[in-house]
Chains A and B, each alone.
Chain A
């Protein structure tokens, strides 16, 4: 175990780096801003590596804990720690931030410093969310992270960006405000503590648990997003710049799912059992219905956005199977989706930068002009469809196995989505990449450059690594997931 405050460093290095980048000011200093941002994001990633290498896989509790007084007036503490559930997301987040900074290297030419600063600051805030063990600290990071994303969508987004930015902000704010009240209720009922770990032990009557669960559900369902509160996501994705889409899909969506494991299940276990049917139903609708919606999209980004919702449906489904297989599968799915959806959005960004269209119908025969790109895009499309040997398969397969134990028909419906997933992913790929060269825009395409190749290459390695040898990812989860399940199995009603 390291004696350095690694988690604080993981939070504050990107934020401080973001402020430094911001200080470079106008676009005359753009190259400096880019270099500083890259340097900052790599430094932030490096400090998260010891979290993984130094992680004690036998320990299901919190590790790398930091505890300081923050606001003694309300007994709010600066309390950080990671367990097997949250640790991988800190690493993933730091990794994706490097990708995002690199992805905007040439594309973003306006307000470069502000662009990179927004992403760095957001990265720090998100690390804060994954590591907070104090309810208010969590909430503060949770809500503060809306600000940079709101600006990213609104300033660097597409034509309908203002609408998308407002929708994103107000939807998520709505969810989190009720969540805040739930936190206050817990504060009063626990005799004045905001410690999440204390709340895990707090006995609560069933009625209250159900209200708490619903408040959590609204907050996290909006963030995940689950059907029927998912409508902000396609808008936000379509209008966001490539980097914004990557962060949104790879990290921001995970926050809601993570919230289920940190708040809903352990704090309201009886209500979770009671209402698991509701969540399972909503998840299945997301998996099947949203899968069909994805099939008919004409816009590539929208298609991947809907496919993200379907994939996140798998995640919430896995959580509410109450089995180690289901939860670990869901966690693997979350990490994998981080790589795959990030890569998918980056691929679309690559094409958009050249043709300035996201419509599937504007493409065709791209493989003739961009063979290297087509090969890599193929890999990620397959991973998105859940092909074995890619990371996409591991998670979905584990969730379906978990579901079989829970209920055969639930597993059946979930499994059918693998077919739908293959259909929309491969069909899009076929229409965009294969066939004859569709028009002069495609004719003028140039293949990916070194920077783009490097980004996609790294993501491809990650995807294949997780698909072929998921052990390093799953072994860190076991102890914590088992602890969680033992905890959830015990009733808190007294």
Chain B
């Protein structure tokens, strides 16, 4: 009766299993926590993430390993992205700590557990090798995030943001599922590597496949937040409590990059011509709308939302240039540049939202641009950190943002799309304007509020480290660049 049952190899999924187990344990332990600050819950959550990282490093073989009947894959790209993911989530939770302590309704054990489940969802997405696995991870992430956005239930804007996020997110999931079902119909496989083999063999109904691809790309575009599927981004970024915006604005970009790689590159590389054309349109539109709309914002979170749209558009440029005229010679260069871009973006984005959290106090959000006026008078050090983050986002050297843009642009130029590179740099020029405006507010204007910053020491140290990392990795970008390239080399 159980002849067909094979115990799957659990080792490649060890970090996921550990995280799932710990999340449940923490949920229970939290019931007994009497401390209003929930220090124990917080500490356990962070230790869990550190534990995941240790397990990840310990179990990584460097080879591509499939398990759970090929539904789950562990390769070097997954390992690396997950390590960045743990680092990001640890940082995010540290940054959020003071903010949620000041806001009674949010400082619940559930906050940490939801963050862990969202992380688990992202890990599953990163390691997915099957449509079902991707969907599973995606929904785990999305549902956790919906709940986190709505966590501040006394706030009308947060509730509204959660509602919007939920409705549009569900629609996007629907699109994605529909696209997946079409591709399943055309190829008869749900397994990504299996689909790739079918397509390679030929004899697949092209029109059904293309139809499915369109929906698939639309669904991915929703999750990445690129134009014209970006509507939810500004509202959710703006409406969500800043600590949750920080979460949404950083780590999930890594996972979104991973599923784009899994679906489009691992699965549908033979259709690269079709999806690359779609991505080019998405990317140019995102850079245009993202950068132009960001200029008009007075709320920093909203501005960063539009900036996120433009950054994701820029990142897509790297993915669109992998295959040129059926020639995949540039693939590694192109995809690793996109991966480096995402990692760099996550680092900058975490730092920037972290700065908003650093400036926020009980009953004060610090998310308007004007709240940053005269920061140089109040705290030259943190004004300097924020300035580095802004110049990095604008792509000015010596900061990591420059080399991220550089890597993607050289991939675009190498692929021969000079016009695309010109469009990209012109929109970055427009983008530079609103980042410069933040620097202007901090340095050229007088403060509205002279009070010194009151953030805790650990927060100060971490934000400083984040800002300095943006500068140091800008001077020595080689390490992460080659890590990304090597990981993809071993995974593709």
Q: Binary interface profile of B, 402-423, with partner A (CB < 8 Å = 1, else 0)? A: 1100110110011000100110
Q: List 30 A-B contacts (CB under 8 A).
A: A25-B380, A71-B477, A72-B482, A73-B478, A73-B481, A73-B485, A74-B407, A114-B380, A139-B397, A140-B402, A143-B402, A147-B396, A150-B436, A151-B439, A154-B440, A155-B376, A155-B444, A162-B440, A165-B444, A166-B436, A170-B429, A174-B429, A177-B428, A178-B422, A178-B425, A180-B409, A181-B409, A181-B425, A187-B410, A188-B414
Is the pair B391, A147 in contact by a Cβ cutoff of 8 Å?
yes
A62 to B409, CA, bound (A): 30
Is the pair B413, A188 in contact by a Cβ cutoff of 8 Å?
yes
Is the pair B406, A136 in contact by a Cβ cutoff of 8 Å?
yes
Which residue of B has the minimal Cβ distance to A175?
B429
B432 contacts A by Cβ under 8 Å: yes
Q: List 8 tightest A-B contacts by C-beta distance, closest first.
A: A140-B397, A177-B425, A184-B413, A154-B444, A73-B481, A71-B478, A184-B410, A144-B397
**How many chain A residues touch the partner (CB < 8 A)?**
36
12 more contacts with CB within 8 A, not counting A180-B406, A184-B413, are: A73-B481, A73-B482, A74-B407, A143-B402, A150-B439, A162-B440, A166-B436, A169-B436, A170-B432, A178-B422, A184-B421, A187-B413
Q: Binary interface profile of A, 155-188, with partner B (CB < 8 Å = 1, else 0)? A: 1000001100110011001100110110011011
Is the pair A72, B478 in contact by a Cβ cutoff of 8 Å?
yes
A427 contacts B by Cβ under 8 Å: no
Instruction: Assess A166 versus B433: contact at CB under 8 Å? Given A140-B402, A151-B443, A154-B444.
Output: yes
B residues in contact with A155, CB < 8 Å: 376, 443-444
A144 to B407, CA, bound (A): 18
Is the pair B444, A162 in contact by a Cβ cutoff of 8 Å?
yes
B residues in contact with A146, CB < 8 Å: 396
A72 to B485, CA, bound (A): 12
Shortest Cβ distance from residue B432 to the other chain A in the assembled complex, whole angstroms? 6
B residues in contact with A170, CB < 8 Å: 429, 432-433, 436
Which residue of B has the minimal Cβ distance to A157?
B444
A71 to B432, CA, bound (A): 25
Interface residues of A in 108-164 (CB under 8 A from B): 111, 114, 136, 139-141, 143-144, 146-147, 150-151, 154-155, 161-162
A408 contacts B by Cβ under 8 Å: no
Shortest Cβ distance from residue B286 to the other chain A in the assembled complex, whole angstroms? 18
Shortest Cβ distance from residue B441 to the other chain A in the assembled complex, whole angstroms? 10
A residues in contact with B425, CB < 8 Å: 177-178, 180-181
A185 to B413, CA, bound (A): 7
A493 to B403, CA, bound (A): 32
A114 to B376, CA, bound (A): 10
Is the pair B485, A185 in contact by a Cβ cutoff of 8 Å?
no
Which residue of A has the minimal Cβ distance to B477?
A71
B residues in contact with A185, CB < 8 Å: 413, 418
B398 contacts A by Cβ under 8 Å: yes
Partner of B398, one of A144, A161, A180, A181: A144
Shortest Cβ distance from residue A195 to the other chain B in the assembled complex, whole angstroms? 16
Is the pair B429, A140 in contact by a Cβ cutoff of 8 Å?
no
Which residue of B has the minimal Cβ distance to A177?
B425
A residues in contact with B410, CB < 8 Å: 74, 184, 187-188
Partner of B443, one of A139, A140, A154: A154
A143 to B403, CA, bound (A): 13
B residues in contact with A412, CB < 8 Å: none
Interface residues of A in 253-281 (CB under 8 A from B): none
Interface residues of B in 265-279 (CB under 8 A from A): none
A174 to B422, CA, bound (A): 11
A165 to B443, CA, bound (A): 12
A70 contacts B by Cβ under 8 Å: yes
Shortest Cβ distance from residue B425 to the other chain A in the assembled complex, whole angstroms? 4
B residues in contact with A140, CB < 8 Å: 397-398, 402
Q: Binary interface profile of B, 376-389, with partner A (CB < 8 Å = 1, else 0)? A: 10001000000000
Shortest Cβ distance from residue B433 to the other chain A in the assembled complex, whole angstroms? 6
Is the pair B409, A173 in contact by a Cβ cutoff of 8 Å?
no
A370 to B484, CA, bound (A): 66
Shortest Cβ distance from residue B397 to the other chain A in the assembled complex, whole angstroms? 4
Partner of A181, one of B403, B418, B432, B477: B418
Q: Binary interface profile of B, 360-403, with partner A (CB < 8 Å = 1, else 0)? A: 00000000000000001000100000000001000011100011
Is the pair B440, A166 in contact by a Cβ cutoff of 8 Å?
yes
Shortest Cβ distance from residue B429 to the other chain A in the assembled complex, whole angstroms? 5
Shortest Cβ distance from residue A23 to the other chain B in the assembled complex, whole angstroms? 10
Shortest Cβ distance from residue A41 to the other chain B in the assembled complex, whole angstroms? 21
Is the pair A181, B413 in contact by a Cβ cutoff of 8 Å?
yes
Which residue of A has the minimal Cβ distance to B480?
A73
Which residue of B has the minimal Cβ distance to A185?
B413
B residues in contact with A154, CB < 8 Å: 440, 443-444
Which residue of A has the minimal Cβ distance to B399?
A144
Instruction: Assess A181 versus B380: contact at CB under 8 Å? Given A73-B481, A170-B433.
Output: no
A136 to B397, CA, bound (A): 10
A residues in contact with B482, CB < 8 Å: 72-73
Q: Binary interface profile of B, 430-451, with partner A (CB < 8 Å = 1, else 0)? A: 0011001001100110000000
Interface residues of B in 436-491 (CB under 8 A from A): 436, 439-440, 443-444, 477-478, 481-482, 485
A141 to B475, CA, bound (A): 11
A180 to B406, CA, bound (A): 9
B residues in contact with A139, CB < 8 Å: 397
Chain B CB count within 10 A is highest, among A161, A162, A184, for A184
Which residue of A has the minimal Cβ distance to B481?
A73
Which residue of B has the minimal Cβ distance to A182?
B413
Is the pair B432, A173 in contact by a Cβ cutoff of 8 Å?
yes
A16 to B255, CA, bound (A): 39
B residues in contact with A165, CB < 8 Å: 440, 444
Shortest Cβ distance from residue B208 to the other chain A in the assembled complex, whole angstroms? 38
Which residue of B has the minimal Cβ distance to A137?
B397
Shortest Cβ distance from residue B290 to the other chain A in the assembled complex, whole angstroms? 17
A166 to B376, CA, bound (A): 18
B residues in contact with A111, CB < 8 Å: 376
A25 to B410, CA, bound (A): 40
A residues in contact with B402, CB < 8 Å: 140, 143
A residues in contact with B397, CB < 8 Å: 139-141, 143-144
A residues in contact with B444, CB < 8 Å: 154-155, 161-162, 165
A residues in contact with B443, CB < 8 Å: 151, 154-155
Which residue of A has the minimal Cβ distance to B485?
A73
B residues in contact with A184, CB < 8 Å: 409-410, 413-414, 421
A187 to B432, CA, bound (A): 25
A140 to B400, CA, bound (A): 12
